[in-house]
Structure 1
Amino acid sequence: MNEPLDRPGFRPNVVPIEEYRGDYGRTPTAPAAIAAPIATVESEAGLIGCIMQAPHVFPLVQHLVAAEHFFEEAHRAIWQVMGDLVAAGDTPNGIKVKAALGATNLAFDLGGQNVLSYLGRLVVMACTPISAPEYARTIQQYWQLRELAAVTNKAADGSGFVPGPHLERVYARVDQIRASFVDRKVMSVTADQAGDELIADITADLQGHGRVVPHTRVAAFDKEIGGGPQPSTLITVAARTAMGKSIFGVEQASAIGRQGHVAIYHSLEMTRKQIQARRTSSWLFDRGTRLAYEQIMRRRGLSQSEADHVAEAVYEMRGEHFHIEDGGGRTIGDIAAASDRLANSYARKGVPLGMVVIDHAHIVRPSRAYNREDEGLKEVADGALSLAKHLDVPVLLLAQCNRNTEGKSVEDRRPSLADIRGAGAFEENSDAVAFLYRPAYYIERSGKYREQNPEALAEHAGCRHLLEIIIDKNRIGRANHIVRAWIDPALNAIRNLQSGA
């Protein structure tokens, strides 16, 4: 590729990098007013150098950072060239980048050095490939800080404004900036490159050093969704009230947290104490102690020995990576921003993110007023899928079914896609959609059961611990399939059917 790409070259107002902060040993010459920008030029330079030195890293960071996120205009131009090369099916190494820029741009003066010599310096100071995603996130986060500073500056620059409307504009822009954490940018690769990645993953798996996919508490469910919750996928699990949505979410997240990964549980209804009581009850059940979580939560509900069991369980669970985000009234942008922050925090400790759980979709607050409820739910579904792609982990989105199931025949009140409020958005965005159904729930509420009818009692005894996980949509495996598991709602326990007690 000898001709420059069809894109703008370096403009005359590109300021020499050294004039910002005197980077790389030079004395700063810029005015004090711009001597300390909200930027990390070193991260920008290190990332670009890394890509030129190790171009195979570009697909790992392409979805995290775009040209507009770079502070230094020269870096923006170079990053744009790299993106153009990849989009054209080429490799963004140093030689190709120089050829794509062309002689005129390579000779552009950056203040005592031209672009050609500067590219050489970037390669020398390149970051290691393993650090590239962290560099990319840092660049994006600094961009967001600059955008936040810009949107709030009007309140401090002395110019007039009307507070109410101005606040609305500020909050709207803040939501946009936060949402940029999860914007799904297109990763452009050829079919050959995608094939190479597929073979590499299969080979690594066969050799025993592929990416570890944590499992849930239900082996049959894992089998149907590819061996466990897959990275970058959105799994929607829906049910009517009391069918076990929160039980399912807490159990699956707890299982992930016990396998060396961190699970982030966004609870918009339950308090952190309620979640921990549920986890404790399930943990004790595995060790032979039946203690309902509502009893743990009840004031003066425990004897001294039972309280000792709870204390032991809480102590033993301290090493598990289970992070609770407790609080309602949050937007999907709030949830995404918190997840990204926590994922980076745990990554610095060497703990990979394993799953994000959102409990539940229908009480996530829309970022603005919509004319119809389904428009707000589409925002939630879109954001949850983008979050899965952005963090490259499974997102488990719990959802509420409407009351249509109550009007179905007694023989079959199993829910389907049409029973989810805002069904279209969840069906469109989810890689898998599953429904939870407990036949015992409806038997317990029948007149015959309440009258102690022998047939009703026998029927209830036969299914009191049965949980059906109805997989309606499944991009990875079989759809229209039912997985059966063992459940005890009082203990917040879900197990493989054959291992329940």
Structure 2
Amino acid sequence: MSEYQVPSSMAEQSILGAILITDRCLPEIQRELRPEDFRLEVNRMLYEAILALERSGGKLDPVTILDQAQRMGAKVSSQYLMQLMEITPTAANVGEYVRIVKKDRLREALGEHADRVRAGVDDLEDPDVILASAQQRLNDLAAQGSAGKLVSPSDGILAYYRQRETIEAGDAKGYVCTGYMALDELLGGGMLNSGLYLLAARPGMGKTTLALNIADRVAQADPVLFVSLEMDTEQLSAKRISRETGIPSQKLLMQALTQEEEDRVADVSRKLAGLAFWSNAAPTATVDDIGALARSIGGLRLIVVDYFGKILPPPAARRYGRVEYTTEISGDLKNLARALHIPILVLCQLNRDLEKREEKRPQLSDLRDTGALEQDADGVIFLYREDYYAARESVDPNVPSVLDVDLAKNRHGSVGGCKLAFSLATSKISGMSYRRKTKEEIPEQFRIGG
């Protein structure tokens, strides 16, 4: 008889019977099954009683389990427990019993999911909402299949050495360089695969400009997805062309060009069209939408999202408050980075409270209102320009502005700052200098080795 022909209820009973025979199999079962995975109510309540006893440090045997289950309201008899032990062939095969129950639950969940999709189609719901919800549910079901799997001590070390092998072979595929030597030095080489990185500042500091510069530098060798939820494609292209031609983007978008300027734009446009720079067409996106776009690009090495506050929450989360759904979006972005095994650079606007301070340089507490971003992020990069707060007439757009870049959090290396030269008129950013922070300047929770 194949595993698909074995009744799930029999497998459930054999799992419980195995625990009653010997509680040594419980850790293996706990890693894979939750109470809701048991279809029969009596079996589910027995498993809940077993887990409650285990958490309290109580002894697990038929008498204590029966007593705990009855005190929790289960209608179960000692005869049923004896029956469970009698029908269980052996506790040694509990892993197979668990696998049968998990596969049965997954088939059941997929059937329910298909019914919900069909109901949404029949009710003429928005297909984009149906698709986003369907994809999120499928991702959740796929994740459940691996959530309980352990990585052995040796496999954990082997994963590290596989990462090292790519670097020692001269293949820096374990991370993605920003293209700015000073910033990459601070990051320890670049943005690590599976990492979530924040580029945060007040509006107008240069977040989008720096992100575009980084994206184009990466796109010279590898595909990049730039998800812009604030600027139209033509505006992004104008900023990129402006950087390469030296013609202000305002003129590129709104004024006549000379023949010489037209020729320069044509040359640069051909160059930029050859870069592996992909962008989105729709003005809105959920994390699932971003994931779908990313998976359609072969060999993708970096995702840039501009910006966090414009990402739509999942349909089911839209009835919750801002803190709840931004926390969910933050976690989903980190999960997406891990699933795709590439870094995601997310732009964030800082709250207005810093404008009330005398010292207006950003700090990590300025991210507090943005859900769990600070906790989920592998790196937090702040931007600050002194001339942003200067009198407008005192700023010469033809003189490069000094852009202070502060790596305020780096889960995998040092923190510190560097300075970049920022041409406001042409969106060009180039390197200047950098400095590591001293130990005393690093927040205690981010210090390496204490």
Superposed pair shares fold, TM > 0.5: yes
Mean Cα displacement is larger for which, 393-402 or 148-157?
Answer: 148-157
Which of these residues, 326, 333, 345, is aligned with residue 396 of structure 1? 345
Say whether the 8 Å CA contact 2:229–2:311 is kept in structure 1.
yes
Which of these residues, 137, 162, 172, is aligned with residue 177 of structure 1? 137
- Asked if 1:152 corresponds to 2:80, the answer is no
Equivalent residue number for residue 384 of structure 1: 333
Change in CA separation of 1:146 and 1:334 when aligned onto 2, cut-off 3 Å: farther
Letter in 2 for 1:353: L
Which of these residues, 354, 360, 363, is aligned with residue 310 of structure 2? 363
Which of these residues, 191, 212, 220, is aligned with residue 182 of structure 2? 220
Aligned equivalents of 1:485 and 1:331: distance in 2? 32
Give 1:189 shift: 1.2
Aligned equivalents of 1:461 and 1:173: distance in 2? 47
Change in CA separation of 1:211 and 1:408 when aligned onto 2, cut-off 3 Å: same
Which of these residues, 393, 403, 410, is aligned with residue 474 of structure 1? 410
CA shift digits 1:130-170 (9 cap, x unpaired) = xxxxxxxxxx9xx999887533334688xxxxx48999995
Give 1:492 shift: 1.6
- Asked if 1:244 corresponds to 2:244, the answer is no
Letter in 1 for 2:409: K
- Asked if 1:305 corresponds to 2:263, the answer is no
CA RMSD of aligned residues (A): 3.8
CA shift digits 1:149-195 (9 cap, x unpaired) = 533334688xxxxx489999957843633654995954631222221
CA shift digits 1:434-465 (9 cap, x unpaired) = 111011111134xxxx4x6xxxx7xx899952
Q: TM-score, normalised by structure 2?
A: 0.66
- Asked if 1:296 corresponds to 2:252, the answer is yes
CA shift digits 1:66-123 (9 cap, x unpaired) = xxxxxxxxxxxxxxxxxxxxxxxxxxxxxxxxxx979x99xxxxxxxxxxxxxxxxxx
Change in CA separation of 1:310 and 1:209 when aligned onto 2, cut-off 3 Å: closer
Change in CA separation of 1:156 and 1:335 when aligned onto 2, cut-off 3 Å: closer
State how 1:39-78 maps to structure 2 within 5 Å: none
Aligned equivalents of 2:208 and 2:142: distance in 1? 25
- Asked if 1:189 corresponds to 2:167, the answer is no
Letter in 1 for 2:432: L
Equivalent residue number for residue 19 of structure 1: none
Letter in 2 for 1:11: Q
Equivalent residue number for residue 5 of structure 2: 11
Say whether the 8 Å CA contact 1:265–1:323 is kept in structure 2.
yes
Equivalent residue number for residue 428 of structure 1: 375
Aligned equivalents of 1:427 and 1:385: distance in 2? 12
Equivalent residue number for residue 420 of structure 2: 485
Letter in 2 for 1:497: M
Give 1:468 shift: 0.9
Letter in 2 for 1:151: R
Give the 3-state SS of the residue equivalent to 2:355 in structure 1.
helix
Q: How many residues align?
A: 339
Give the 3-state SS of the residue equivalent to 2:194 in structure 1.
coil
Q: TM-score, normalised by structure 1?
A: 0.60
State how 1:28-427 maps to structure 2 within 5 Å: 149-154=114-119, 163=123, 173-174=133-134, 176-177=136-137, 180=140, 186=147, 188-209=150-171, 211=173, 213-259=175-221, 261-284=222-245, 290-298=246-254, 300-340=255-295, 342-343=296-297, 346=298, 352-367=299-314, 368-409=317-358, 412-420=359-367, 422-427=369-374
Change in CA separation of 1:253 and 1:182 when aligned onto 2, cut-off 3 Å: farther
Letter in 2 for 1:476: H
Letter in 2 for 1:324: S
Mean Cα displacement is larger for which, 219-228 or 384-393?
Answer: 219-228
CA shift digits 1:267-321 (9 cap, x unpaired) = 101011111111112223xxxxx211221111x3322221221111111222210
Say whether the 8 Å CA contact 1:205–1:211 is kept in structure 2.
yes
Equivalent residue number for residue 45 of structure 2: none
**Percent identity over paired residues:** 25
